[in-house]
Structure 1
């Protein structure tokens, strides 16, 4: 584990050179960049209404415990001086395109994960720079010069380790994990740092006496499969610093959707149909822009008591027209009427996609709207 710029050990072993670039508090940093009055102050991007949710938080806000996905009301209690800013996704997408253009100058092998992060495979070293760590440094410098924003980067021989490394020295940091160092690095890693292990998974592991990657590595496959099922293979490999996944420049989008949480519960059929029509317009705009076609339409309702209900319909042929998409969505809603209780969230998704031509750096609408 190191952050110096020597990664010559990659070459003799014929290993991949992977960089994971992660923008620092991206949405909040863009807002602070564009509004000098917000610089150095705790900022939350998101809605500040009764049911608002924090979409992103500046590092100044994180010191108070403000994090993405927590209710805005909780964020205000944690940090009374918190400034809320409504999301500007058009701006974030434009900045993301600037960053993507920088990536593309160094390698065609770019796998975006969201607007603010991506994997890069720089094994081929098209510019003859000679070091993956040096490439990461040049990319970070270019991002800072062209956007005024900082990025952190992780460099290693697989995606799992590169992603972990990018978080190691945040913000505005860089970390290199060389070949032969992966298992040792992961051994001391808290299980919460493993991608895919959420709070509930971490709690389960703690009950089993598992606190670090080394604790996972000490368990055999029989134990892991008994307690973690299909996740066992991933845990077994990750705990040893192994990840065989390739950087995929054309990673397919699985679905396109939108959902909206309302300040006041919707309790009548007409109100729900009116709200659904607005969501249809948002989703179809993305479907049309991406030239995507899919066969499965899923309606999602979250009731006032937070219970969830979904209805889905799969067709033999892809949905071809907006009216067809809207009609099926409204028909699925009719199946759930009359309501057993008021609705606080409504969503609609198209999946089983084919012929999709995504830009790769644009998040699906459900990622955007569910955070407002």
Structure 2
């Protein structure tokens, strides 16, 4: 979907059509959730502080977010996808892969199917979407990005390398800023440069997994099928303070609140996390993330809290002010799906206590029973859940 949140908001605000607008809470410490393409053309991007967006475009229109609306339109769009094929892999609220190889006898060529989908989505929802058609998921994703906004791009299988190789290296999945710097220092600037480098050289620079992964993608090798089983890749909670915080006890209290919420999310989904992460954004908007992989997966809030507090202490804040803090659980597995440690007991008193709290919360509301440590004042600012 194209600028999905912004496009949904504009549906009910026709006077905003064609103007720079952002979706954000209208407050000094808010960040941009989504931006119209008119705003993007002027330099505004998602996750940009709203104050910065207003410096770039003083008359930018601010639209309050309505997440229930986005879920409603997402359901409509995904239903349309399923009308064309049962093989739909939903990546997020506004993006999916479709395998249409079995639908061509009914609906026509892949290009005709893509065109039909775009027309149907527009007719049912009023929203624009962009579609990429290719023989692999990776190239289809690139094609959809290249076709935005409101476009359609087909990459025939025989033209894949012709399309892929001239692109910059950051077009490859897994190439972020740091990886790009490593590759550029070796004189690699395009996908073609990566493809024509010895695989052993890439492995030497990036490690076995990353080097082999990028080499395969540079030759458009992506054997992954469209998977209809969608599993959350991660779960998390973030908290933006109304005023920057330097006090370590306040930060740890906030982390306890978030860790308990993430633990409850995991238990509700019958999942456990092998990796626990911490996100800290300082007052100058520099963001740092740290994570730790556990010997055994967990869904216990107190265990999650212990890990993120250790990660926080390792940062050695040195009095730096914190603007935002977040806890994330990743590398998720089914609850009880791992072998018990030979030296650990099968029961955990904290887990038993938290399960009991879950049961009381389901009956009487989420705040009906809470740890005594929450009785100390924790700032009632806006919280955001961040499922992956």
- Is 2:312 the partner of 1:292? no
**1:122 paired residue number:** 100
Query: Match for 1:62 among 40, 48, 54?
Result: 40
**Structure 1 residues 296, 210: CA separation in 2 closer, same or farther (over 3 Å shift)?**
closer
Corresponding residue SS for 2:167: coil
**Structure 1 residues 218, 31: CA separation in 2 closer, same or farther (over 3 Å shift)?**
same
Query: Match for 1:184 among 162, 166, 169?
Result: 162
Is the contact made by 2:276 and 2:328 (CA closer than 8 Å) also made in structure 1? yes
Query: Match for 1:235 among 203, 206, 214?
Result: 214
**2:3 paired residue number:** 25
- Aligned equivalents of 1:196 and 1:334: distance in 2? 28
**Structure 1 residues 301, 157: CA separation in 2 closer, same or farther (over 3 Å shift)?**
closer
**Structure 1 residues 280, 236: CA separation in 2 closer, same or farther (over 3 Å shift)?**
closer
Give how far 1:343 is off.
3.2
**Structure 1 residues 205, 308: CA separation in 2 closer, same or farther (over 3 Å shift)?**
closer
**Structure 1 residues 137, 196: CA separation in 2 closer, same or farther (over 3 Å shift)?**
same
Gaps of 5+ in 2: 336-383
Query: Match for 1:38 among 16, 19, 28?
Result: 16
Gaps of 5+ in 1: 1-22, 357-363
Give how far 1:339 is off.
7.5
Superposition TM-score, scaled by structure 1 size: 0.77
- Aligned equivalents of 1:169 and 1:222: distance in 2? 34
Deviation track 1:25-48 (CA, whole Å, cap 9, x = no partner) reads 111111111222322111112345
1:132-151 to structure 2, matched below 5 A, reads 132-151=110-129
Corresponding residue SS for 1:151: coil
Deviation track 1:37-69 (CA, whole Å, cap 9, x = no partner) reads 322111112345444322221100011111112
Cα root mean square deviation, aligned:
3.1
Deviation track 1:281-315 (CA, whole Å, cap 9, x = no partner) reads 754674466x3331557362526475747586958
Task: Report 1 or 2 for greater relative contact order, CA contacts < 8 Å, sequence distance ≥ 6.
Answer: 1
Query: Which range is displaced more, 195-204 or 25-34?
Result: 195-204
Corresponding residue SS for 2:157: coil
Is the contact made by 1:297 and 1:328 (CA closer than 8 Å) also made in structure 2? no
**1:366 paired residue number:** 386
- Aligned equivalents of 1:76 and 1:59: distance in 2? 16
Query: Match for 2:244 among 254, 257, 265?
Result: 265
**2:235 paired residue number:** 256
Deviation track 1:306-349 (CA, whole Å, cap 9, x = no partner) reads 57475869586753xxxx53x44555576668985343322233
- Aligned equivalents of 2:199 and 2:250: distance in 1? 52
Give how far 1:280 is off.
5.4
Corresponding residue SS for 1:68: coil
Query: Match for 2:30 among 41, 52, 58?
Result: 52
Query: Which range is displaced more, 53-62 or 80-89?
Result: 80-89
Query: Which range is displaced more, 43-52 or 310-319?
Result: 310-319
Give how far 1:179 is off.
1.7
- Aligned equivalents of 2:112 and 2:224: distance in 1? 23
Is the contact made by 2:279 and 2:327 (CA closer than 8 Å) also made in structure 1? no
- Aligned equivalents of 1:310 and 1:231: distance in 2? 19
Query: Match for 2:324 among 339, 342, 345?
Result: 345
Is the contact made by 2:259 and 2:305 (CA closer than 8 Å) also made in structure 1? no
Query: Which range is displaced more, 23-32 or 341-350?
Result: 341-350
- Aligned equivalents of 2:135 and 2:309: distance in 1? 52
Give how far 1:154 is off.
0.7
Corresponding residue SS for 2:122: helix
Superposition TM-score, scaled by structure 2 size: 0.75
1:151-170 to structure 2, matched below 5 A, reads 151-170=129-148
**Structure 1 residues 255, 133: CA separation in 2 closer, same or farther (over 3 Å shift)?**
same
Deviation track 1:256-299 (CA, whole Å, cap 9, x = no partner) reads 1111232312344664466446545754674466x333155736
What is the aligned length?
Answer: 333
- Is 2:194 the partner of 1:216? yes
